[in-house]
Structure 1
Amino acid sequence: MPTDAERHLASLLLHVRPDRQVIVRAAIAAMPGTELHIEQPGKMVVTVEGPHEGWIADRMTALHLLDGVFSAVMVFHHIDRHHTDQEQSDRAAVESAGGT
């Protein structure tokens, strides 16, 4: 089960119509949690960051449905649980020291 401290990061490769690329770029900039990193005519690399896999899937679907996008393919997905692990370690340290 995802927690608030868990973060998901995914990179996507978008294939787009070159004549619609400016519009797609603007839509990506307006979409929270998305960032365009590099592009060339017909291709864009976008990262998506959010609280859980469903959020990532929703953004991927939204990108795929943009006018001018042929496909949005996930290339990489990473789950950062560091914050969750650190929270549990901090809580255990407090409990072992006699705190609550």
Structure 2
Amino acid sequence: MPDISQRYHVSSAVVVARPEEAESVAASLAAMEGVEVFTIQDGKIVVVIEGKTSGELGATLSAISGLSGVFAANMVFEHSEYEEAFADERRTDAA
């Protein structure tokens, strides 16, 4: 069995921001390590959060909740796999 430290965690979250501040909140989110902004609509921002542990994802979500202009940040989905599983998926025989 692989070393647990090699696990890869990913989650999605919905961030609810003041509509007039959504663009600046999204810019702050995009600047955070392990956070990718997927879409913005009517003050709702969908993000993907990546990290090495579930606790790291939770800490990032807590940091997001504390950003100015954010009303709420809720995790929607979380998944984890060993990193080697992703490495296998990236392999290709194409020349």
**TM-score, reference length from structure 1:** 0.77
Unaligned runs of 5+ in 2: 88-95
**RMSD across aligned positions (CA):** 1.8
> Is 2:72 aligned against 1:71?
yes
- Quote how far apart the aligned CAs of 1:50 are: 0.3
Provide the identity percentage: 35
Which residue is 2:91 aligned to? none
Unaligned runs of 5+ in 1: 87-100
Which residue is 1:56 aligned to? 57
CA distance in 1, matches of 2:7, 2:72: 28
- Quote how far apart the aligned CAs of 1:82 are: 5.3
Structure of larger gyration radius: 1
Higher strand share: 2
More moved, 16-25 vs 69-78: 16-25
Please list every run of at least 4 consecutive aligned residues from structure 1 whose deviation after the TM superposition is greater than 3 angstroms.
none
**Number of residue pairs aligned between Structure 1 and Structure 2:** 84
